[in-house]
Amino acid sequence: MKKVVFSLGLLIVCAAPALAQEAKTAATQADAPASNPDAIKFEAEVHDFGTIPEGPAAEYEFVFKNNGTEPIIIQRAQPSCGCTTPSYSKDPVLPGKTGSIKASYGTQGRPNAFTKTITVVTNVGTKVLTIKGNVEKAPDASVPSNTSMIKTH
């Protein structure tokens, strides 16, 4: 009897991690969007701003068409960092119609080259959009001088 109980306990201890991993994989697959990469077609997935001045935000609108048979719902658009802000409509994009995702990059205080991504998760799959460019430092004369009445020395 002790051997049976011991064997059964050993079997449970050895099988538990495998069963837990299988359950985790099944749950992840259930949460993952259906993959149909041909359903969403962007006019461009990369935009190069070229050289832009420091100061105003650099903005670009990525336009896509729904080539599928079901509405496309954008679940989220995740930027690679806080200096990039995506915006998009929460309304479904019907088959044959177009939608867009706007990307805004804050250039203030960020001179030099940049490459940023936005990961777009939809009900038909995931796409990665890229913006890049080079921010030209604003001339020092354009920075306001300290005109306070308080002496600093």
SS3 144: coil
4: amino acid identity, one letter: V
Q: Is residue 67 part of a domain?
A: yes
Residues 94 and 132 in one domain: yes
pLDDT digits (tens, 9 = 90+) for 122-153: 999 999 999 999 999 988 765 555 565 665 55
Q: Total domain count for the chain?
A: 2
Residues 21 and 55 in one domain: no
Is pLDDT at 108 greater than 80 in this prediction? yes
Residues 23 and 57 in one domain: no
State both tokens at 7: 């064997």
Q: Is residue 15 part of a domain?
A: yes
Q: Is residue 147 part of a domain?
A: no
Rounded CA separation 132/55 (Å): 16
Residues 90 and 53 in one domain: yes
> E strand or H helix at 113, and its extent?
strand 112-122
pLDDT confidence of residue 46: 98
Q: 36 or 48: whose pLDDT is higher? A: 48
Q: 149 or 24: whose pLDDT is higher? A: 149
Task: Assess contact for 64 and 99: CB atoms under 8 A.
Answer: yes
Residues 28 and 45 in one domain: no
pLDDT confidence of residue 105: 97
pLDDT digits (tens, 9 = 90+) for 49-106: 999 999 999 999 999 999 999 999 999 999 999 999 999 989 999 999 999 999 999 9
Per the structure, the complete domain to which residue 17 belongs is given by 1-32
Is pLDDT at 26 greater than 70 in this prediction? no
pLDDT confidence of residue 71: 97
Going by C-alpha positions, the residue among 74, 63, 65, 77 that lies closest to residue 39 is 65
Q: What's the whole-model pTM score?
A: 0.69
pLDDT confidence of residue 38: 85
Residues 103 and 120 in one domain: yes
